[in-house]
Amino acid sequence: VSTTEKSTSERSTVHSTFVIERTYAAIPERVFAAWSDQAAKAQWFGPGEKHAESYSLDFREGGREHLSVPTPDGAVYSFDAVYADIVPAQRIVHTYDMHRDDARISVSVATIEFEAVGDTTRLTLTEQGVFLDGLDTPAEREHGTNAMLDALGTHLQGSVPD
Amino acid sequence: VRTCSIELAALRTAEAWVAERRTAWERRLDRLGDFLAEQTNKPDQESTQ
């Protein structure tokens, strides 16, 4: 499909969905507020104060969120989201992409649902994403290739005819 | 064989990314729990005025 400068062998898409559940000892309105207020969300969403980073949140439908985090190897990972659907204290749907420097790693839809259970909140996060081009660092690619070769070696050993 | 091998390597890398993404969300949601617990333990500054 793609006719860009990369060869087909370097273009790949892998789709994945995962679900994470947590229960918090707070009512949904309070848990939701930790997602909707920039100052509150900055306290738990980013990697922590020890990392230099930039963070902004415009929490409304159509609004954007940005987080960028430099890593020790000099690369910068960035998260850019657009809020698609917001139902206060009940649901947040946002799409986001991740980049490593200028290279796009993934595009995802993340749905966060808040459900009152007694005095607590059950939070369910569902992420559906496409991971692009097996994008990675050269070291990881080497590791992946070595692991592949090891697996191939094992497979060949195992398939030696009797 | 070569094409198959390259795709396998890309697939493995993508699987690592997915695992990393899940772990990142789990860490965040744990920190959210810590944040909410700190808020609960601290008296609400606005309402105690």
> Which residue is it, tokens 């105690």?
B48
Measured between CA atoms, the residue of chain B closest to residue A138 is B13
pLDDT digits 0-9 by tens, B1-32: 555 665 677 677 777 888 889 999 999 999 99
- A109-118 pLDDT, tens per residue? 999 999 999 9
Amino acid (1-letter code) at residue A64: R
Give the ranges where A14-92 is alpha helix by DSSP (H).
28-36, 38-45
A20/B25 Cβ within 8 A = yes
Q: Is A105 on the interface with B (CB under 8 A)?
A: yes
Scan residues 44-73 of A and list those with Cβ closer than 8 Å to B: 44-45
Which residues in chain A show pLDDT less than 50? 1-4, 137-139, 141, 145, 155, 158-162
What pLDDT is attached to residue A73? 86
